[in-house]
Amino acid sequence: MTSLILSDLRHPAGRDFTTDARGPGAVARGARRAVLGLAMAALVLGLAPHAQASAPDGFADLAEKLTPAVVNISTTQHVKGGAGPDQGGEDGPMPQFPPGSPFEDFFKDFYDKQHRGDGGGAGRKVTSLGSGFIIDASGLIVTNNHVINEAESITVTLPDGTKLEATLKGRDAKTDVALLQVKSSKPLPHVSFGDSTKSRVGDWVLAIGNPFGLGGTVTAGIISARNRDINAGPYDDFIQTDASINRGNSGGPMFNMNGEVIGMNTAIYSPSGGSVGIGFAVPSAMISEVVGQLTQYGEIRRGWLGVRIQSVTDEIADGLGLDRAKGALVAGVSDNGPAAKAGVEAGDVIISFNGQDVPDQRSLPRMVAETGIDKVVKLVVWRKGKEKQLDVKVGRLDETETAAAEDTPKSGPATAPAKGVQVLGMRLSPLTPESRRKFEIRDDVKGVLVTDVSPDGPAAEKGVRPGDVIVEVAQAEVGSPDDVAAKVKGMQTAKRKSVLLYLVNGGGEARFVTVRID
């Protein structure tokens, strides 16, 4: 830092600042004083050169040590029809090269071998390629579930060329983790998990894998971001990296500079199909938990709370009196579930679970899933303007349960009789036996029916549809259209910008929406 400043002061744009009208060397002495002052300021601010993390001199020693534990994984399966090579699995379509490129013949031969099948419409055998890594000398191997999904046979190729048949020990589609077992006559080289929670944005990482079936490829980069949600599953918590990740790298390990696995390369963002510097890895904290359960039980056992949740927007936070958007809004509670038994109610915002703050809706399912079954934890909810603490005994998740409420309700009938009270662009009427049959509304649902919605009104903006039932307005139950109108008028008098509605549709799905007040 000092040398750069000094160099800039000495030779900006080729000018010589060693002399001026004040006499030879005057400015030079001033420059030295300025540099000294900047250096002292850097020390005070913690910006001194010796405090900065330096880049590694190279990765050769680390790569040499780790590569023997990284394997290639190939699978075969029978598919129907005579589809083209772009359906060949993990390796994808053949890259395009300029005419006469020396790589063109190599890749053409490689892809022909991978996609050569039975031909015709009766079906064919296809081969997919991916990566994996050995975590135990006995032959336990971790890879992505999508690498081995629907495979009829799985072959693991070690770096020395040894081929071993693998059996599937367990899998978890929700985190895209699979555990394989191979048998070897000798102990196999293996790697260990590191603590991904201690990794920071900007840390160096090393990725080793099998891109395009080339095998044993090492790439390096940094952690670009953490806690990424790419809508791959309910427990997304990806590490983002700029280390080159390509087709075939899936299932391969991401190492820190201590040679520990802190992630498993799983996905890339790419409009071209190749690396553009945005890759995603499942963190080791999640992998090790899944692997531990697959090893012990042969299946995944996750915690369950028994709530349907949705995001807390700024508008909803304002309507509930929260200082900011945070937590998970309870849209519904499962009958006889853990939350129901603990006293959780629709309209509660879960802001803390087991002593940890719940920053947003997507964080809660992961926190609950990682909690031990039958463990009693503290739950803090925001209810009617104040915090309330509850004790909840975590149950076991049935994997068919839905973790979160749908953001968009199912469509109801497009039109309905135009009569009743008009509020916020909605026409409202009391629930009757006829309207219950028409909109398939259960007998236990109480509230006010939305019979029509103005397409350019504020309610339509938030997805309110004919057939929805308004159960609550501003967290107060309503039983007639006049109740709704009175509540909205009260919010207008209080100069509120929006009103919080609790709705249930004909399919029984409940949700909260905030509708602006004109």
- Active site residues per annotation: 146, 176, 250
d(CA 170, CA 150): 13
CB 2 within 8 A of CB 35: yes
Q: Please list, in sequence order, all residues whose beta carbon lies within 8 angstroms of the beta carbon of residue 133, skipping any fewer than 6 positions away.
A: 69, 70, 71, 141, 142, 143, 191, 208, 251, 252, 253, 261, 264
CB 287 within 8 A of CB 176: no
Phi/psi for 396 (5° steps) reads -105, 130
Side chain identity at 299, as an amino acid letter? E
d(CA 251, CA 214): 15
d(CA 54, CA 48): 12
Residue 305 to residues 174, 374, 407, Cα–Cα distance (Å): 18, 11, 20
d(CA 55, CA 239): 20
Q: What is the 3-state secondary structure (H, E, C) of 60-118?
A: HHHHHHHHHHEEEEEEEEEECCCCCHHHCCCCCCCCCCCCCCHHHHHHHHHHHHHHCCC
Residue carrying structure tokens 């040499």: 64
CA dihedral 140, 144, 147, 153 (to 10 degrees): 30
Residue carrying structure tokens 């609550």: 472
Q: Distance between alpha carbon 279 and the CA centroid of its chain, in Å?
A: 13
d(CA 428, CA 454): 12
Residue 193 to residues 135, 206, 289, Cα–Cα distance (Å): 8, 14, 11
Half-sphere exposure in the Cβ direction for 31 (13 Å, CA): 21
* C-alpha gyration radius of the chain: 30
Across the chain, how many H-helices and E-strands are there?
12, 27
